[in-house]
Structure 1
Amino acid sequence: MLGQKKIMILGAGILQLPALLKAKDMGLNTIAIDINPEAPGFDIADQRILLSTTDVENVLMMANKVKPDAVITLASDMPIRTVAAIGEKLGLRTISCDTAIVCTDKGKMREKLREFNIPIPEFYVISDLEELIEVSKKFEDNFIVKPADNSGSRGIFLVEDTKNLSNAFVHAKCHSRSGEVIVEEFMRGPEVSVESLTIDGETTIIAITDKLTSGSPHFIEMGHTIPSRVPFNIQSQIKELTKSAITALGINTGPSHTEIIITSQGPKIVEIGARLGGDNITTHLVPLATGVNMVEYTISLALSKEVKLPEFDQKAAAIRYIESKNGILKSVKSLKDFNKVDGVKEVKITKKEGEKISNITNSGERIGYVITQADTPEEATELCQRALKSIQLDILNID
């Protein structure tokens, strides 16, 4: 179509589908980039480019050829550097390359936040086991070891006994692209995420999400609920902390996803992504609970359109992931067709029958989920639990 605006979307996997679908719904010509030729987004994109989203040089070369009017990624961290590089080269509305680097390197992120006196855990950046052994002596309590530049709970290890230092280091190191590892204070307390949108340097908090994890040692996210049930006075602290951190990191445009733990000393930043939150939070839960389509507003911002947020709805939404174990997934049965139950918005199995599944050690190993909407977070959560109980997994044990 003559004059049709083009948007380049880095990633064509399942997490990027909402961006591709919304962009097409907005009448845009979609250019999807992914290294996986089987990426589902390629089926709906107008143009498909087979490249790694972190291959800055070659993606930038392609962007220079196709001249997109906007570039975004949704729920992945490392493509943010590529987005910023394209934005700076073509004069598009993105964060800067400097901000992208800080937001995708946990060590640099913590250093910048510390510079602005933002509450963060005690931390150290190391690259070998000997350094870890020395740093471990500085902690009187348990501590976390994790890669400096990965996401989705990959490589996280809680050290409760220093006899496990070698295992912790290997687990984190093998998930680190740079080879650097973060060693940080183990923060105890409820964990939340904060979904925000920054427009011309002004940040609006869209939602605070309560998080459920698998606990020690890997802390895989197994559920989220909006709105948060944290006391309102703590929520006020969380909002102010989030806005201060976003400003400190230089995020002056677009979405951000901030993870916070409410410790006995008050809320502390875990990390911030200069992107929309994953786990269906911003693509599904936020619009169900607040009526705000963050994907649409993110695209509009990237196109340099004027954006005015609407009044927020006062509903609730929740997601719960299905537990699994080692084996072969033979079949999935449901005692009740919960897809037709009022309030259940989606029941999805992300693994195929005959596929090998495992005990969950990172978010990519989860096998499915249930999403619900209700008037209160308690009702949304209870509906999720009922739906989960109806799902029967036939797993062939291969231990």
Structure 2
Amino acid sequence: MKLFVIGADPRREWAFSAWLRAGLSITLADGVSGGGFEHAVDRFHPVEVRDERADVQSLAAMAAGHDGVTTLAEGSLITAATVARELGLPGPGVGAARIARSKVRQREAGRRHGLPGPRHSAVSGPDDLVRFFAAGVQAAVLKPADSSASAAVFAVHGVEEALERWPRVRAISPSRTGIVEEYLTGPEASVEAVVRDGELVFSSLTRKQTGGPTGFLEIAHTTDRADRPDAALDALVRDLIAAWQVESAILHIEVKLDGGRPVPLEATVRPAGDYITELVSAAHGRDLYLDQAHLALGRPLAADRPARARRAEVRFLLASGTVRRNVAPVEVLDGLTEVKIVRQLAAAGSRLPPLTANWARAGYALGWSNDDGDALTGQLRTAVSELGRLMGASEVA
């Protein structure tokens, strides 16, 4: 069967590997992401695929004769959903894709359908921030309305700090808009959900650690075979599916867990990045990339495979300075039996960018274990620190 992929963000190698192992013929249309997947597909079209600029009719003509359409790019969700609709193929639904691309629309859809959420306001200029804080809010989060990767997400305490941060937030947003909302306490997690014809058929829970200079960079993700969404979380997922009118998609939902009813922070209709999808495969035996393809193709979902481990985790390197050299994995992995992958994400000679988005992280280590979870975390911490040391970069706590 032939799958047409509209856009693929970097570090989606495992998706293409899973699809090719499944015997699918892959066509990729993407001229902007820099993912470098041309060598991993059967056909490649170097064209514009971003929602704001894509020629949907031309893409639909390219996709004609394929059995499914999907995307691995946050910036192409609406385009891919529209092409799928034009060809009468399964997809998340254009309405759901539009909601996913705007945090403001997400909040409004949730409010209309009774989902919990913080007090918030759309921001198109300084006056919106002045009005929001005039109501007495103290601690808030200011972020772009339509970007991903924790880019330009800032905690702000009062209107003066919000006004100072606003130009940076506006510059990151494709629509030059933002959202400000009350800061919620409590740990963060994500739910990965498989939705077919509006019905929830699988869900898993991944714990998240955030920090860095902004407090919102994603430092680590961990999932355990026994750590599944409880009834309240699954109910929240079903409510979100109904509120967005999701048809068939992989959902990635970020939530706050602060006791009582969990609160959704934001969500999207594509598999998670940051190697969360790979963690789910290792600890739960569920290949969400294969599910994504099967949903797009209208095929039955594959059965779960035996999980490789009880626990899986990925940790990222936050660092500053100039990268001295490229580090071979063998230099790091000796003796770290639970660490399966270590990768440098910044080339030798480059100066590491300011840590204001996930894409500024310098490397990562990923592993899984059937033994003590603390031992796995310790080995991953060691791997990340050693990677940073050998790169010549200064690790940032």
Separation of aligned partners in 2, 1:23 and 1:311: 16
Separation of aligned partners in 1, 2:60 and 2:116: 38
Q: Post-superposition shift, 1:394? A: 4.2
Q: How many residues align?
A: 389
Q: 2:49 aligns with which of 49, 53, 60?
A: 53
8 Å contact from structure 1 (residues 92, 302) kept in 2: yes
| Structure 1 segments of 4+ aligned residues over 6 angstroms from their partners | none
2:67 match: 69
Q: CA RMSD of the aligned region, Å?
A: 2.5
Deviations 1:165-211 (A, max 9, x none): 22221121111111221010101110000011012222134320110
Deviations 1:126-180 (A, max 9, x none): 2001221121222432101111111100121110243322222112111111122
8 Å contact from structure 2 (residues 203, 234) kept in 1: no
Deviations 1:232-264 (A, max 9, x none): 8x8432222122212211112120000001235
2:301 match: 307
1:168 match: 165
**1:91 maps to amino acid:** G
2:355 match: 360
Q: Post-superposition shift, 1:362? A: 0.3
2:379 match: 383
Identical columns (%): 24
Separation of aligned partners in 2, 1:164 and 1:267: 28
Secondary structure at 2:12's aligned position in 1?
A: helix
Q: Post-superposition shift, 1:355? A: 1.5
Q: 1:297 aligns with which of 287, 291, 297?
A: 291
> How has the CA–CA distance of structure 1 residues 135 and 387 changed in structure 2, closer, same or farther, with 3 Å as cutoff?
same
1:347 match: 342
8 Å contact from structure 2 (residues 197, 248) kept in 1: yes
Matches within 5 A, 1:149-298: 149-214=146-211, 217-227=214-224, 235-263=230-258, 266-282=261-277, 284-298=278-292
Q: 1:27 aligns with which of 23, 42, 58?
A: 23
Are 2:141 and 1:144 equivalent residues in the alignment?
Answer: yes
Separation of aligned partners in 1, 2:326 and 2:174: 36
Separation of aligned partners in 2, 1:66 and 1:201: 24
Separation of aligned partners in 2, 1:19 and 1:90: 23
Q: Post-superposition shift, 1:332? A: 3.8
Secondary structure at 2:27's aligned position in 1?
A: strand
8 Å contact from structure 1 (residues 343, 373) kept in 2: yes
Secondary structure at 2:367's aligned position in 1?
A: strand
Secondary structure at 2:264's aligned position in 1?
A: strand
Separation of aligned partners in 2, 1:113 and 1:37: 30
Unpaired segments ≥5 residues, structure 2: none
Deviations 1:276-334 (A, max 9, x none): 0110101x111111111111111111110122543774611000001201334445477
Separation of aligned partners in 2, 1:113 and 1:363: 26
Q: 2:6 aligns with which of 10, 14, 17?
A: 10
8 Å contact from structure 1 (residues 113, 245) kept in 2: yes
Secondary structure at 2:231's aligned position in 1?
A: helix
Separation of aligned partners in 2, 1:307 and 1:396: 44
8 Å contact from structure 1 (residues 260, 271) kept in 2: yes
Q: Post-superposition shift, 1:37? A: 8.6
1:321 match: 316
> How has the CA–CA distance of structure 1 residues 280 and 334 changed in structure 2, closer, same or farther, with 3 Å as cutoff?
closer
Separation of aligned partners in 2, 1:325 and 1:200: 46
Q: Post-superposition shift, 1:265? A: 5.7
Give TM-score, length-normalised by structure 1: 0.90
Separation of aligned partners in 1, 2:189 and 2:378: 19
Q: Post-superposition shift, 1:269? A: 0.6
More deviation in 329-338 or 117-126?
Answer: 329-338
8 Å contact from structure 1 (residues 260, 268) kept in 2: yes
Secondary structure at 1:15's aligned position in 2?
A: coil
Separation of aligned partners in 2, 1:204 and 1:378: 31
Q: Post-superposition shift, 1:13? A: 4.2
**1:19 maps to amino acid:** A
Unpaired segments ≥5 residues, structure 1: none
8 Å contact from structure 1 (residues 12, 42) kept in 2: no
Q: Post-superposition shift, 1:58? A: 2.0
Secondary structure at 1:247's aligned position in 2?
A: helix
Separation of aligned partners in 2, 1:358 and 1:275: 27
8 Å contact from structure 2 (residues 6, 30) kept in 1: yes
Separation of aligned partners in 1, 2:10 and 2:187: 29
Separation of aligned partners in 1, 2:76 and 2:244: 17
Q: 2:99 aligns with which of 98, 102, 113?
A: 102
More deviation in 180-189 or 386-395?
Answer: 386-395
**1:362 maps to amino acid:** A
Q: 2:82 aligns with which of 80, 85, 109?
A: 85
